[in-house]
Structure 1
């Protein structure tokens, strides 16, 4: 299929064509864009000078000197990608294509507060940069996922229920004291949706990612765009009411919330009521792996409860793919069976005719991939690339060095 020609624009627009990693000649780029060869040549020279594009060998010659080919150079800079969960932190260094260069997972309680958690993240990030053979000056940006509502425009958490001390905290300013680069912060489920779709479902523009863990939430991608809503709370499935939960009190103060019925702590509490010892979600996973029938039945019912809510969402948003992730998704066949049972029974036939419900492929790397993608979408946008080039090599990506 021929490539769509970008709108007329500068080197930043031309660069978007090269972001797929495929090498092209100046002549191919001129043909695709309709720009003059001289215009393409000058823009490629600018991209070469800042390191975003590098030489990629020579094309086959039709007589005379073989033409040079060029491709995106994702190694020119790196991204610090951070997934902060309720009880863990994952920190990774990726290149600009999202390839993980170094990674570390740490046990860390988010309730320790923003300074303690972010100090540990920054210390680990700088250590990983060194391990990857990179310097702090190589960082193009920092992407952070948090386990609570986030005002994306400012990066400030908004009344996060499991994050005492974080409400309104200026995460961006705090991180930029150590790393003066763009810092982007979002809800963890939103970046999971970005990461999973980019890595494994790029051809699907209407996509839902459902995280089932200590909390329950969803990342919504509609017409290819992540939907955050007016205040950043779009996709908060955990506090949608489940029909059978009239007498189950949720920590939010309401009765019958999905999170109070189907999250890891809720399932552990239900098993305790049945006489099976379980303190948290990981105990439920262990019991399921051991073949405990009560744990399997509880997990399958959780799938049905999630399916009850998703059936409405499917009718409303008509996604083509729903991906189930989070810690409870790791023993996915039982949870998935319950979800499918209800969604396919309760949703409209037209909405489910081509609907795929799948387990996460990226697993516990989903949020890291999404945090990296969130940063690269920002720093490699046409406007950002133009600003870099106009800064004469002093901007965000503008040092002429390439690695690897």
Structure 2
């Protein structure tokens, strides 16, 4: 059956500058094998941003030769914080900073414009869902996983039996704000890091680009006063650290080793709380050279404390197709909704 006739779902990954879209057939074939990006217009407010999502939707259909009539549902992800149904936090967020975004129902806004069912996840959950299903394949609905997505902040997701755990208010899987023991993470006399959310010593306060700029780089530059990054603007210096890390620079490797130890502490908590089959890492920290990726993943694994029974079963891996993981993850969520069976009756009656 060709793409001109088969039913599909569309996935849209909304970011601070771009939307990335994909198309997935109901028999599980992605019709896009690369990034299909268009401007997201989020800084222009909700109306312009939703119009940009519609443009992304129309653009990816045109690229794949699929008509609107073939689309059964749309998956949408955005950065958080937002509710499980796509209502942006009443305090806004980094990407949705204008007052008009506060409390805005972005899922319903897109649904009204498209006239199609829209299924929502935050971007961390979407990437986690995709990593889980790609890694486990046919066994995905019988496996569990935890994912940490390291970027400007730290997102993530918990997947159980192939489905994202959203929680009562949609805040499950906000792994960046889990507070961790710092004894194995910080160097002697290193100040306790503070997260942008106000927490002291949560994972994001160490494992994120923001953490490098605000917390880690100032400390380590004081230990390496002759380093080339001394004198660089903090924001620019933070973005340059990964390149130094790839080249084996001692200061940069100290910073990323701390980030790996923080993720290991997070996964240790996960091991005792959800006991997953797999631990995934994604985001900018691993969008790098193979040598650096392998080193970083090995550092995380080394600092994750598991029991012998867990070691025999657990896998550590990178989120695949990293730039496309969000769009593909919400496309999978939309596909699951389209395929869903009726809700089973309760086990206990009235």
Which TM-score tier does this pair reach, normalised by the shorter chain? 0.7 to 0.9
Aligned to 1:121: 53
Aligned to 1:311: 268
Give how far 1:226 is off: 2.0
Cα pair distance change 1:223/1:77, threshold 3 Å: closer
Give how far 1:325 is off: 0.9
Structure 2: segments with no counterpart, 5+ residues: 222-226, 344-350
Give how far 1:199 is off: 2.2
Where has structure 1 moved over 6 Å in runs of 4 or more? none
1:267 and 1:299 in contact (8 A); partners too? no
1:255 paired with 2:209, answer: no
Secondary structure of 1:358's counterpart equals strand
Match of 1:352 among 308, 311, 319: 311
Match of 2:298 among 337, 340, 357: 337
Residues 362-389 of structure 1: CA deviation (Å, up to 9, x unaligned) = 32221121111111111122349xxxxx
1:213 paired with 2:145, answer: no
Residues 145-187 of structure 1: CA deviation (Å, up to 9, x unaligned) = 11103322x3222345322243321223321333101011111
Secondary structure of 1:150's counterpart equals coil
Secondary structure of 1:252's counterpart equals coil
Match of 1:289 among 237, 242, 246: 246
Written as runs of structure 1 = structure 2, the 5 A alignment for 1:154-173 is 154-159=85-90, 160-162=92-94, 163-165=96-98, 166-173=101-108
Aligned to 2:121: 186
Q: Which has the greater radius of gyration? A: 1
Report the Cα distance in structure 2 between the residues aligned to 1:287 and 1:138, rounded to whole angstroms. Answer: 48
1:312 and 1:347 in contact (8 A); partners too? no
Aligned to 1:85: 15
Report the Cα distance in structure 2 between the residues aligned to 1:339 and 1:364, rounded to whole angstroms. Answer: 22
Secondary structure of 2:181's counterpart equals coil
Secondary structure of 2:244's counterpart equals helix
Secondary structure of 2:279's counterpart equals strand
Give how far 1:87 is off: 4.3
Report the Cα distance in structure 2 between the residues aligned to 1:374 and 1:124, rounded to whole angstroms. Answer: 18
Match of 1:146 among 74, 78, 86: 78
Match of 2:172 among 206, 209, 234: 234
Report the Cα distance in structure 1 between the residues aligned to 2:318 and 2:14, rounded to whole angstroms. Answer: 21
Secondary structure of 2:206's counterpart equals helix
1:129 and 1:135 in contact (8 A); partners too? yes
How many corresponding residue pairs?
311
TM-score, length of structure 2 as denominator length? 0.79
Cα pair distance change 1:148/1:241, threshold 3 Å: same
TM-score, length of structure 1 as denominator length? 0.69
Report the Cα distance in structure 2 between the residues aligned to 1:279 and 1:73, rounded to whole angstroms. Answer: 45
Match of 2:209 among 255, 261, 264: 264
Cα pair distance change 1:354/1:98, threshold 3 Å: same
Report the Cα distance in structure 2 between the residues aligned to 1:77 and 1:136, rounded to whole angstroms. Answer: 10
Report the Cα distance in structure 2 between the residues aligned to 1:294 and 1:173, rounded to whole angstroms. Answer: 47
Report the Cα distance in structure 1 between the residues aligned to 2:109 and 2:268, rounded to whole angstroms. Answer: 41
2:41 and 2:52 in contact (8 A); partners too? no
1:193 and 1:370 in contact (8 A); partners too? yes
Give how far 1:124 is off: 2.5
Cα pair distance change 1:263/1:200, threshold 3 Å: same
Structure number with the bigger relative contact order (C-alpha 8 A, sep ≥ 6) is: 2
1:158 and 1:168 in contact (8 A); partners too? yes
Match of 1:101 among 23, 27, 32: 32
2:72 and 2:116 in contact (8 A); partners too? yes
2:4 and 2:65 in contact (8 A); partners too? no
Structure 1: segments with no counterpart, 5+ residues: 1-53, 55-71, 385-404
Report the Cα distance in structure 1 between the residues aligned to 2:177 and 2:17, rounded to whole angstroms. Answer: 21
1:86 and 1:214 in contact (8 A); partners too? no
Cα pair distance change 1:108/1:183, threshold 3 Å: closer
Instruction: Give the stretch that moved more between structures: 160-169 or 252-261.
Output: 160-169
Report the Cα distance in structure 2 between the residues aligned to 1:324 and 1:226, rounded to whole angstroms. Answer: 16
RMSD: 2.7
